[in-house]
Chains A and B, each alone.
Chain A
Amino acid sequence: MKAQNDAILVDECLKGDNRAFETIVRKYEKPIYNLAFRMVRDPDDAADITQTVFVKAYEKLDSYNPAHQFFSWVYRMAVNESINFCKRKKRMDTYESGITFVVKATPERDFRAAELSEFIGDAISQLKIDYRLVLVLKHYHDFSYQEIGEVLQIDEKTVKSRLYTARQQLKEILEKEGIRG
């Protein structure tokens, strides 16, 4: 149903209905921003990437193949933009600290949760970009193995391998820091 709606919106946009693309922007703005944010860990850079993704998606909309999922197509753009950004900035492994994460927590756990989330953010940023991507898509976008494979254009076996490795490395980093969930 989701994919069908997207296909209709794309078709209407290609017929000149700008409102259809505005709907697409509203629908995917938050997930694309969050994906970018998880990758680059800077709110302003994530906003720039999000804007670039939508501008390019609009410009290249007539090259979109409706046989494939629209969200995979637009996520792939976001992934590529994020990777390119990381490479351009040469910050793949040297992120600045100071990013604030919002953590679901009960009031009495607020301090612990905030502290924990900072460690987790740091730990995720230490992962190699391939591992970070699958972890982010799985845990913050609820993608299935198959969907992650479509976005990253890798097979499911590779998705699982990277995901398990990412989790293992994350576990080790957190344990090394004395963090337990």
Chain B
Amino acid sequence: MIGPEFVEQANKELDGVLSRPESERFHRLLATDAEAAKYFESLRATLAAVDAVEEPDPPAQLESRILGAIPWGQHRPHSPARGRATFRTWWIFTPKLRYAVTFLFGVLFGLIVYTSIVYNTDQGPGGLDDSDFYGTMRYINNTDGFQETHSVGVNLDQVTGHVRLHEADRVLLAEVSLESAGEIEWVLQYDESDVSFEGFRQFEGRAGDVHAKGTETRIYQTGEARYMLFFSRKHHKITPITIKIFSADQLLLEQPLTPSAAREQ
């Protein structure tokens, strides 16, 4: 009779974890019990078939794809770095400012979460996943209530992609999806009496520092990246937001993004 104890012994024998005396005792049982021997042989054959299936190789480009997606620079030695590490260096080495800015970001984050609740934004299928959180805001993958009001295609030698403006009643979303061979800098400029920058969410590409002040938001990127920037509008009619793209301090593109209310004027 095949009972749970025999099944366990059979599995352990096949896994090679029975001691020698246990294994000998098990095989003596098999020699005297045809049903047990048949079960064991069937299980052995099943596992042999499972083990015979070889693992497939990953796609050839997977390694480079993974390395290209890693947001390098997140883990850095605590020493002054060259070039554009000034924001991060300042952040790390200025405790008072760090605490102050942390507090302000905390307040800002709280406001964003509160706003998302107040305006009853959808949480999307499966709810929110903190592990996907990246940036200063949660992007809700739901365009309900938003309307794309302006789209600009970018098709230059150094950079391609698109910039789109989505609008809701009191919110503007600027979607910037660009791909470049080298490092580029792009800037969104706006009138601070019209809108205020509330946060951003990066979806793809390497993380770059985001520098925001009253009238502009500036981001550096290399390769492919997609950002969603979130602005609250202070009143209905607002002046255009301008995007500028630079490469090595050379202006490649300057394009106004016109909110619908501004175009109605």
A contact residues vs B (CB 8 Å cutoff)? 13-16, 18, 21-22, 25-26, 29-30, 33-34, 37, 43, 46-47, 50-51, 54-56, 58-59, 61-62, 84, 87-88, 100-105, 113, 116-117, 120-121, 124, 135, 138-140, 145, 160, 163-164, 167-168, 170-171, 174-175, 179-181
Contact = CB atoms under 8 A, between A and B. Distances in A.
A174 B74 contact: no
B81 to A, nearest CB: 9
Would you list the 9 A-B pairs with minimal beta carbon distance, nearest first? A181-B45, A181-B49, A33-B58, A16-B77, A171-B46, A181-B48, A34-B55, A102-B54, A16-B76
Q: Report which residue of B53, B70, B77, B134 has the largest number of chain A beta carbons within 10 angstroms of its beta carbon.
A: B53
Majority-rule SS of A interface residues: helix
A51 B62 contact: yes
Interface string B41-62: 0111111111111111111001
Nearest to B10: A164
B65 A47 contact: yes
Contact of A50 (B43, B56, B62, B129): B62
A138 B53 CA distance: 13
B131 interface: yes
B106 interface: no
Interface of B: 7-8, 11, 15, 17, 42-59, 62-63, 65-67, 69-72, 74-77, 125-126, 129, 131, 134
Given A87-B126, A88-B126, A174-B49, A55 B71 contact: yes
Contact of A104 (B47, B52, B77, B131): B52
Contact of A54 (B11, B70, B77): B70
Nearest to B76: A16
Given A30-B55, A43-B56, A51-B65, A135 B50 contact: yes
Nearest to B14: A167
Given A14-B75, A16-B75, A163-B11, A29 B69 contact: no
B70 A21 contact: yes
22 contacts: A18-B70, A25-B66, A30-B58, A51-B69, A54-B66, A54-B70, A58-B70, A62-B75, A84-B129, A104-B54, A105-B52, A117-B52, A117-B53, A120-B50, A139-B47, A139-B50, A139-B51, A160-B11, A170-B46, A179-B49, A181-B45, A181-B48
